[in-house]
Structure 1
């Protein structure tokens, strides 16, 4: 490994925590803030979509989206995310992290705005247009996953790298929280203006016309943080590890990181408080406990809590809601203080620089394929099995119980596969991937 290149990489590994680290967390984290807002805000507006476009007086569930439409609206973005993770992960290794980073943001901005402008003649056209733009929104979001993780891992030092990557991922919690708060505020403003509390159905069996604006505003608001982040992402230099190890330009890598390490100033930091506790347990403990321990613990605890929800499901369904909520919350706590975070962090560390974004994209896409199964499969299975079994004389909830059991088995499999994952705590990226040994081998003339 050339001396200049080696000095740059060593400087990154041993650098003390500086303002540029936090700047990178905020810039990359705002992408995840936007990702979470865009992906999860759709669940906040589906009920309003049903009331606006599918209200049929006398129907079993008036004002509800048909199951196939609901599954499409909620799940199509996950399909786009999977495709984006694979494509942009590969492209990030070919073109560089910085160039592709801006492309993904622009797709997110344009698709968010276009989602709010989903018009057409009749519900089918509106929902079809919405699904089209939600797919492309997910495509841009998918690219943000491998690129944000890879950039943060290549900027960080080896002592606190896991915590920094986890902090980027933890910004999802703020995005989900902001989506709920913004939806409440917009609804309250329209309710006060048009005297239609909660946009409830009026006696004529329809919502007020202005209700159609609410879901559009909520969806388009996702473009704002993405647009604000674009400028700062374009000011970030390419990561020194990509420049040195992939682009083979050690002098440029040294110049870029010299500027970042010495001239960098703090930007406005978002106060990191009030989000999902599991995320932040990971942030503070992952570089102490290690990735393996946290992931194994998370999978095991999720298995236990899933079974605790599934086996006595009828007990919870008969009105014991507090206990159900507690167990369900603990399941999510250990998902975030567990595999939800570690499966984002580890792929950004264990692969060589020339393949890091590609492999992270594949890993992230594998996880997103599970989300697609959940969005389309488990909901459909639970609803249909509940109806079939109830008609046949079984107690209600049998489909949901079986779905929880399946999830428990999947979590148990995840725990077993964890034993195949190498521990990366405290090691340099080159040490983990073996690139330090490859660089020391003499080249063939």
Structure 2
């Protein structure tokens, strides 16, 4: 049975990697740079917020935010991301990928800049305003996920598609590092200018009034990369796959890609009509369930499990930093010095673990495949967490702390050279064009539900199991880092099992993967060969 593909889509699949690919990576990647900066920089200043707005004389740890406030600041951003992922994922299929691509950046600019202007007559008022703007920031960040991933996948050729999508996501690593660098510079500048004493020497003077500017400057600077991204996004042409296979405008798809590829294409409207006939089934239809239901379950479950583990690691990070003495007890430092030390520790993790993991994925994702990298990441994280959990108390002793840091850093490496990257890549490849951003948004939203579970579920568990007085610290004693790591190791096992539900997209066109857009010329439906089109 003869099959043909639209000329313009075949040209995109076979095109060599060239300047327009790099252009698309920069445009989409700068959004993720801003996403990561805005999302993770709040963790660098939460202890400073605790010192400024919730200082209680005599408390053992003056940098603790009350649990409800800490949970609210984290939770509202994730809730906003879930809304953005679902809403803009759906809109990306209904009205186009490009239509709202600039709108997500505008939300990010507004959310990050206005977060720094949070106001109120009381601590609760400031935190409520901060949460309000962080929610809208989350909506913008969330919308960026399905749109950027799908645009990059639909612009790419089939040989290097995985690397190009991974390169977009890898900009998160630079965003995290940029947040650390900005925090280091701002806190060090204010520290040198005002030279506050340690908390033990003078609790009140250890947090000078000017410290309130530090967290505001850090949050507001996140708007800068998003500002530069906006103009480029609104100038991008719509992807040919959306225009031809969803909007069914063959002539426009040919015109747009003729400008991009510098090659003339014919519109082939008759072929588009044949290819797209009866291809408008929805995500909740029986037809989708038969063809792609297990794939969506796999994508949703893997992203959920990954984010439970990934964001729990961030919660546990503070406790591990304390145990290896990277961040001394809060009583021995001023608020600005504590902010500096927290940022320095996270910068080391980003440089040694996070960034290399992303770039290993770029190098190998089109060589060994997405599933192999995802399996490797889950397996290695499981193994490393089991080792750290088993020998945790021994590894926190002087002379052995370096091994704890090394293994903990490698868990971040294998998260990013593993499922943190592949859960972003695979949903942008395996679903039909008319539901691609919707399915990616659903998968990403499931991940953020996992992030909420990981962040809130381990918010208390990550505290020391030393019987500390809850009234003194503001937190219950919890079950400790060691027990938490055993639970996270078990979560990685679930990730390994759900990976079996996903197909391997490596080296295959998007239309071959989804069964869309490549059609029998004699009018027979390519859907008849479901098991051949998309094997498990």
Distance 1:168 1:20, change over 3 A: same
Match of 1:310 among 385, 389, 393: 389
User: In the aligned structure 1, how far is the partner of 2:200 from the partner of 2:174?
Assistant: 29
Q: How does 1:25-104 map to 2 (within 5 A)?
A: 25-104=25-104
* Aligned residue number for residue 505 of structure 2: 424
Question: Deviations 1:251-274 (Å, cap 9, x if unpaired)?
Answer: 1011111111229xxxxxxxx999
Distance 1:298 1:346, change over 3 A: same
Instruction: Give how far 1:431 is off.
Output: 0.1
User: In the aligned structure 2, how far is the partner of 1:374 from the partner of 1:174?
Assistant: 23
User: In the aligned structure 2, how far is the partner of 1:246 from the partner of 1:437?
Assistant: 14
Match of 1:321 among 401, 410, 413: 401
Q: Is the 8 A contact 2:461 2:479 kept in 1?
A: no
Structure 2 counterpart SS, 1:58: coil
Q: Is the 8 A contact 1:57 1:205 kept in 2?
A: no
Distance 1:203 1:343, change over 3 A: closer
* Aligned residue number for residue 276 of structure 2: none
Distance 1:17 1:197, change over 3 A: farther
* Aligned residue number for residue 342 of structure 2: none
Q: Unaligned regions of 5+ residues in structure 2, if any?
A: 264-350, 471-476, 526-536
Q: Unaligned regions of 5+ residues in structure 1, if any?
A: 264-271, 391-395
1:435 matched to 2:508? The reply is: no
* Aligned residue number for residue 404 of structure 1: 485
User: In the aligned structure 2, how far is the partner of 1:404 from the partner of 1:283?
Assistant: 28
Structure 2 counterpart SS, 1:253: helix
User: In the aligned structure 1, how far is the partner of 2:219 from the partner of 2:193?
Assistant: 20
The runs of at least 4 aligned residues of structure 1 exceeding 6 Å deviation read 197-201, 272-275
User: In the aligned structure 1, how far is the partner of 2:200 from the partner of 2:521?
Assistant: 70
Distance 1:312 1:107, change over 3 A: same
Q: Provide the aligned length of Structure 1 versus Structure 2.
A: 429
Question: Deviations 1:310-345 (Å, cap 9, x if unpaired)?
Answer: 122222233432111111111111111111111100
Q: Is the 8 A contact 2:5 2:519 kept in 1?
A: no
Distance 1:171 1:20, change over 3 A: same
* Aligned residue number for residue 237 of structure 2: 237
Instruction: Give how far 1:440 is off.
Output: 4.4
User: In the aligned structure 1, how far is the partner of 2:428 from the partner of 2:440?
Assistant: 6
1:110 matched to 2:116? The reply is: no
Distance 1:245 1:256, change over 3 A: same
Q: How does 1:43-442 map to 2 (within 5 A)?
A: 43-196=43-196, 202=202, 204-205=204-205, 207-262=207-262, 276-319=355-398, 320-383=400-463, 387=467, 398-438=479-519, 440=521, 442=523
TM-score (norm 2): 0.76
Q: Is the 8 A contact 2:461 2:478 kept in 1?
A: no
Q: Is the 8 A contact 2:354 2:413 kept in 1?
A: no
User: In the aligned structure 2, how far is the partner of 1:417 from the partner of 1:361?
Assistant: 18
User: In the aligned structure 2, how far is the partner of 1:194 from the partner of 1:382?
Assistant: 34
* Aligned residue number for residue 266 of structure 1: none
Instruction: Give how far 1:275 is off.
Output: 6.7
Q: Is the 8 A contact 1:56 1:63 kept in 2?
A: no
* Aligned residue number for residue 267 of structure 1: none
Question: Deviations 1:210-248 (Å, cap 9, x if unpaired)?
Answer: 111111111011111001100001111011110010000
Between 67-76 and 198-207, report the one with greater CA deviation.
198-207
Distance 1:123 1:409, change over 3 A: same
Q: Is the 8 A contact 1:37 1:179 kept in 2?
A: yes
